[in-house]
Amino acid sequence: MTLPALSLAQLIALPLNPAQLLRLAADTGCQAAGVRLLSTTPGGVAYPLMDDPAGLREALAVVADTGVGVFDLEVAGLTPQHRTADFLPFFDVGRRLGARAVLVAGLDDDEARLIASYAAFCEAAAPFGLTCDLEFMPWTAVPNLRTAKRIVGAVRQPNAGVLVDALHFFRSDSRLDELDDLPREWLHYAQICDGPAQPPATVEGLVHAARHGRWLPGEGDFDLTGLFARLPADLPVSIEVPNDERAQVLGHAAWAQQAVDAARRVLQQGVR
């Protein structure tokens, strides 16, 4: 059975810098890792290799040594105040790392303005060989799959895409049949994790669960087999299972290995 390429997401071991995460991805049998170059919150953990030449060299050395590549860059938040030009060093580091995708969060409630800024962002990223994958999340201006499809369709950029994260899919107002007409060229990767059927009741709870309390694939209530059966069989999968409590007990390496093994078991069930 042939599984898709697997990438280890930064959130699964956020305290590890990019070089350490890439080494962990190699140790757990993944083909790639995602790196968090920009924080999602003021003062949040991130590794801005744009301003850290030594860290960049270290990461590139691990890539050369292990053959494990950088898949995606996190997190480009498109706010009303953002300037696309400010992301050029971010794109350039992505090119040097051989990255393929940028995780994009839509954080502007003015949809017309968000569409315009997302289109400009895609145009600026294209020369660096990067796709720009819009992740829908219930607490953002792109709360569900329908909204993401509408925005990506409106920008009409060849490197625009929709990022399907299992957690956000099942906790947003999204349905499996809405995946059926997603153009293949809009799909560059997906993210896997699991969780309970009953979501947290507040936005704060949703955010906390997404960043600190996800479950291993297969141990929760999400219909992961149904979800991934509707996505292309060769679509790369990012394993994003942050769980602070369990990682603290087991250690990041052991927790990451459990997450990779669990993802493999779930994905093998849907191999076609």
What is the three-state SS of the chain? CCCCCEEECHHHHCCCCHHHHHHHHHHCCCCEEEEECCCCCCCCCCCCHHHCHHHHHHHHHHHHHHCCEEEEEEEEEECCCCCHHHHHHHHHHHHHHCCCEEEEEECCCCHHHHHHHHHHHHHHHHHHCCEEEEECCCCCCCCCHHHHHHHHHHHCCCCEEEEEEHHHHHHCCCCHHHHCCCCHHHCCCEEECECCCCCCCCHHHHHHHHHHECECCCCCCCCHHHHHHCCCCCCCEEECCCEHHHHHHHCHHHHHHHHHHHHHHHHHHCCC
Q: Which residues contact 150 (CB under 8 A, 6 or more apart)?
A: none
Nearest-angstrom CA–CA distance, 114 and 195: 30
d(CA 11, CA 167): 14
Contact indicator for 253, 27 with CB cutoff of 8 Å = yes
Q: Is residue 124 part of a domain?
A: yes
List Cβ neighbours of 52 (8 Å cut-off, separation of 6 or more).
none
Domain annotation covers residue 1: no
In a domain, 90, yes or no: yes
Report the amino acid identity of residue 170.
Answer: F
Q: What is the pLDDT of residue 270?
A: 65
Q: How many domains does the chain have?
A: 1
pLDDT value of residue 215: 98
112 occurs within a structural domain: yes
CATH number for the domain spanning 28: value is 3.20.20.150
Which amino acid type is present at position 96?
R
Q: Model's pTM, two decimal places?
A: 0.96
- Which position has the token pair 């060299």? 57
* Burial grade of 52 (CB within 10 A; 0-12, 13-18, 19 or more): middle
pLDDT value for 269: 86
Q: How far apart are CA 179 and CA 184, in angstroms?
A: 10
Q: On the CB side of 243, how many CA atoms lie within 13 Å of its CA?
A: 21
> Tens of pLDDT along the chain (272 residues)?
588 999 999 999 999 999 999 999 999 999 999 999 999 888 899 999 999 999 999 999 999 999 999 999 999 999 999 999 999 999 999 999 999 999 999 999 999 999 999 999 999 999 999 999 999 999 999 999 999 999 999 999 999 999 999 999 999 989 999 999 999 999 999 999 999 999 999 999 999 999 999 999 999 999 999 999 999 999 999 999 999 999 999 999 999 999 999 999 999 986 54
Dihedral sign for Cα 5, 155, 146, 203, please: positive
Range(s) of the domain holding residue 82: 6-269
In a domain, 244, yes or no: yes
What pLDDT was estimated at residue 272?
Answer: 43
Q: How far apart are CA 189 and CA 7, in angstroms?
A: 10
